[in-house]
Structure 1
Amino acid sequence: MPEGTDYAALIAGHDRVIKMINAGESGLPVLTQLLRLVQPAIGAASLAWVEFAPTGGRVIAATGAAEGTVGRPLPAADPATVCLLSGPPLRGVRVDRIPGTLADELARRGLRRMIVARAEIGGLTVGSLHALYPDGDPDDTSQHAVLGYVASCIAHMYGDQTGLPVHGDGPVVAALADGLAVVDREHHVRLWNPAAAQVTGRPAGEALNRPLPFPLPPPGQVLDHRLPDGRWLRLTSGELPGPGALRVVTFRDITDQQRRDHERDLFVAVTSHELRTPVTVIKGYADTLTDHWESLSDDDRRQAARIIGQRANELARLVDRLLTAATEDRPGGEPAAPFDLAEALRVAVGDLPADVRHRIVLDLPADLPKALGDRHSLATVLTELSTNAGKYSLPGTPIEVSATAKEGMVSFRVADRGIGIRPEHVERAFDRFWQGESGDRRRYPGAGLGLYLVRQIVEQQNGWVSLRPRVGGGTVAEVRLPRG
């Protein structure tokens, strides 16, 4: 072992690495050559480089007594991984103080102490460089300085992404994709990785040496916790072996998953509730016809068949809406084309359910410009808006359909004289499954899908739809489309 760092050998070896790079070599061969020249220059028994990816670390290059460790994984939750990522980015470590089986593996190779230098880019750990020594003199300050410098050189190699990282096909990642914290017996944070700062919005400076900012689940258990800003975290924890009673906590943002789970449960609940009524009515009248056909008059039979047909149409429409709303990305339909909005509205009114059609009052100007969009989807839009108006107004009251054009847009309105809409609900009414009333107090049936689908259809045609209270009572729904 040289007395101190052999700077002459270091400079000569560095020159060889530069020639490799100039010759077009990169990645692992250059990294391995760099370790081979640094090892004797700093008097180490071996050097090892650990690359970190979202799932943890892996030894990808090593020299000397540690060559047999190449390929060894260091899982994210492994106590040795947590230990090596803790503390200052450049420090000396006694091997016997590393928890887990790694210490035994190194001791069997006669390695008793190491210098660890973490390589970071923008606060993200990409790997760590380890100089390993047998029992001997305390660490030389020059050895620390050289190892820190070499680790920064390797970090630049990762930043350039010239053949590195070896594992993973994306940009440089932090040591862990999930947030990770190590806490002591008082639940004060001792380690806070970059992903933890990103997930929580709390930088390490605000988290270290302070209480964990969320509940600590029992070891081996999973806890879903809602943050004050409404986001959800999934937390797990485990004990770290060795003295100090430390706990490691991992967490990830599951807000999107919670939303999907909630919408799935809501979809099932709404579907079962809304399908039950028409199915019950159809079954009831079908049973009546089957069991009492001979005793029923022709008028009774026709009435039962009419109701079965009416309810079957409602059921088909409801199923269509449920299936459409269950898909986040609706098909785009026909390409946008100019069409006669007034004529399209007249045709669509003729296809409305009879109880709604008889209440429609049309007010369409003769000189209404053409609209640009999908004419066929207009029938669905008018059906949803008109049936909605009919549902929330008294039978027999008019439902007014009018149209106008201004400022490069063509619009039509569906107005009723019903219970109206509260100003705070004019946007929420377009949310999927939203109901103005809930539970057993609901007076008006429906799946809460009609207005949601209307907005989806209209906005796909570069238009927009809005609701507002009608002067004198009731609601006005207005659809605006580009001029054709």
Structure 2
Amino acid sequence: MTASAYLALSICVLLIGGIVGYFVGRARGRKTVSKPTGPTVADLIQRLVLDSRNGIAVVNPFGGVVLYNSRAAELGVVSNNRLDDRARKAAEGVAETGEAVDIDLTPVESRGRQPEAVRAEIRPLIDGFTVVDAADESEAVRLEATRRDFVANVSHELKTPVGAMALLAEAVLDAADDVEQVRRFGSKILREATRLGTLVTELIALSRLTGAEKLPELNSVDVDAVVQEALGRATLTLESSGVEIATDEPSGLLVDGDRTLLVTALSNLLENAVAYSSPGSPVSISRRMHDGYVEIAVTDRGIGIADEHQQRVFERFYRVDKARSRVTGGTGLGLAIVKHVAANHGGEVKLWSKPGTGSTFTLRIPARRVNGDKVLARIPAPGAEIKTGGAL
């Protein structure tokens, strides 16, 4: 075959190869385009497991973990790719019986921020595989403990004045012919009855506030009027204690809220400050605007509160000095009510205290708004000067 013939044959082969390659490429392109581009069912299931709020672990018939999410590791269900021994033994039983079981997987040892209570359901899948579905029930356990403590505390607190009144009534009957004794025991009965009435009133107020949402209907409330009414309520306490209260100048500040609840909260702060102050020591009230919140601060120069007690003083029935509370007639509910009043107004109550120096409780409530704009203070009368707060 001549050289020209070889050249012609080569050109034909190249042309044929190019044509075949073109059509093969088009065919492959069509196949690629027609191939589904979305996630598969397996992808979705895996994503569902990985993003679950519960701890999920899939276990094979030999007790090995074939799939688990990060939440399972956080709850301690899976550690170092190994299933918790309690869950593994339960999974073996589920694989044999085919019946789901509930088990307690609460961490045996406390390690940092581990949950306090973990409950899991172990269910059978197919071919001996099982799934462990664990949930953190720490909050429910804490709420139940709080409820039990509350019931126990209420029972104790109610039993004390009721029992005292019964004993005093017997003493009155025994001393019916002694006028002085009758008067003495009668005054004690009156004091215990007053304490009981205060306790019941505060329990009712607290039950209404606890768990309530932010107040749906808010009215414009004059902060200065709240301060004046709270001072009026504390008049008798002040007269008997010898403590004087100093206030800053009227501020003209306004908040959206419930005036009665705000007066109750401030009254509780005042009574608390007076109860823990020595006769003759000062207590002060100040008002100011700060970061969109109206702050009402009550400062005393009393015994102060140690750091370990500061986080707990807002708990129901918690008392730093139980002996002093008995003398002053405190119920241990006042600061809990303040906390819930502040929360229901979208605010908070803050505490600064130092033993031997005194304490400052600050009630922070969002300033009044009209059409989304903050209204810092009421409109003053012509020629009058409005203060926007005082130093805390």
Question: Residues 150-161 of structure 1: matches in 2 within 5 Å?
Answer: none
Counterpart-to-counterpart distance in 1, 2:131 and 2:144 = 28
Aligned residue identity for 2:345 = Q
Partner of 1:259: 142
Does the residue aligned with 1:385 lie in a helix, a strand or coil? helix
Deviation at 1:398, TM superposition (A): 3.5
Partner of 1:4: none
Whether the aligned pair in 1 keeps the contact of 2:317 and 2:331 (CA below 8 Å) is yes
Does the residue aligned with 1:344 lie in a helix, a strand or coil? helix
Counterpart-to-counterpart distance in 1, 2:293 and 2:65 = 60
Partner of 2:339: 455
Whether the aligned pair in 2 keeps the contact of 1:345 and 1:378 (CA below 8 Å) is no
**CA pair 282-334 structure 1, distance change in 2 beyond 3 A:** farther
Can you list the C-alpha shifts for 1:179-234, whole angstroms capped at 9, x where unaligned? Answer: 3442666xx533435xx54454589xx96993214643655673240374232311
Aligned residue identity for 1:313 = G
Question: Residues 15-414 of structure 1: matches in 2 within 5 Å?
Answer: 119-121=42-44, 123-124=46-47, 179-182=56-59, 188-192=63-67, 197-201=70-74, 210-213=81-84, 215-216=86-87, 222-226=103-107, 228=111, 229-231=113-115, 232-235=117-120, 249-290=132-173, 292-297=175-180, 299-300=183-184, 302-324=186-208, 327-329=210-212, 332=215, 335-339=218-222, 341-352=223-234, 354-356=236-238, 358-359=240-241, 360-373=243-256, 374-394=258-278, 396-398=279-281, 400-407=283-290, 410-414=294-298
Whether the aligned pair in 2 keeps the contact of 1:389 and 1:399 (CA below 8 Å) is no
Counterpart-to-counterpart distance in 2, 1:303 and 1:207 = 65
Can you list the C-alpha shifts for 1:349-395, whole angstroms capped at 9, x where unaligned? Answer: 2323834554442323444223324322232112321232244344x
Can you list the C-alpha shifts for 1:105-136, whole angstroms capped at 9, x where unaligned? Answer: xxxxxxxxxxxx9644162479xxxxxxxxxx
**CA pair 443-430 structure 1, distance change in 2 beyond 3 A:** same
Counterpart-to-counterpart distance in 2, 1:183 and 1:293 = 83
Counterpart-to-counterpart distance in 2, 1:431 and 1:478 = 17
**CA pair 424-294 structure 1, distance change in 2 beyond 3 A:** closer
Counterpart-to-counterpart distance in 2, 1:202 and 1:302 = 59
Deviation at 1:291, TM superposition (A): 5.1
TM-score normalised per structure 1: 0.51
Aligned residue identity for 2:46 = G
Whether the aligned pair in 1 keeps the contact of 2:248 and 2:287 (CA below 8 Å) is yes
Whether the aligned pair in 2 keeps the contact of 1:286 and 1:308 (CA below 8 Å) is no
**CA pair 252-390 structure 1, distance change in 2 beyond 3 A:** same
Whether the aligned pair in 1 keeps the contact of 2:273 and 2:300 (CA below 8 Å) is yes
Deviation at 1:337, TM superposition (A): 0.5
TM-score normalised per structure 2: 0.62
Whether the aligned pair in 2 keeps the contact of 1:467 and 1:477 (CA below 8 Å) is yes
Deviation at 1:448, TM superposition (A): 5.0
Counterpart-to-counterpart distance in 1, 2:71 and 2:178 = 74
Counterpart-to-counterpart distance in 1, 2:74 and 2:203 = 42
Counterpart-to-counterpart distance in 1, 2:360 and 2:132 = 53
Counterpart-to-counterpart distance in 2, 1:444 and 1:425 = 15
**CA pair 464-236 structure 1, distance change in 2 beyond 3 A:** closer
Whether the aligned pair in 2 keeps the contact of 1:401 and 1:412 (CA below 8 Å) is no
Whether the aligned pair in 2 keeps the contact of 1:278 and 1:314 (CA below 8 Å) is no
Aligned residue identity for 1:346 = Q
Does the residue aligned with 1:369 lie in a helix, a strand or coil? coil
Structure 1 unmatched runs, 5+: 1-116, 127-172
Taking every aligned residue pair, what percent have the same amino acid on both sides?
A: 23
Aligned residue identity for 2:106 = H
Does the residue aligned with 2:313 lie in a helix, a strand or coil? helix
Structure 2 unmatched runs, 5+: 1-39, 94-100, 368-375, 378-392
The higher relative CO (CA closer than 8 Å, separation ≥ 6) is in: 2
Counterpart-to-counterpart distance in 2, 1:122 and 1:400 = 63
Can you list the C-alpha shifts for 1:89-117, whole angstroms capped at 9, x where unaligned? Answer: xxxxxxxxxxxxxxxxxxxxxxxxxxxx9
Aligned length: 308
**CA pair 462-301 structure 1, distance change in 2 beyond 3 A:** same
Does the residue aligned with 1:457 lie in a helix, a strand or coil? helix
Single out whichever of 211-220 and 275-284 deviates more from structure 2.
211-220
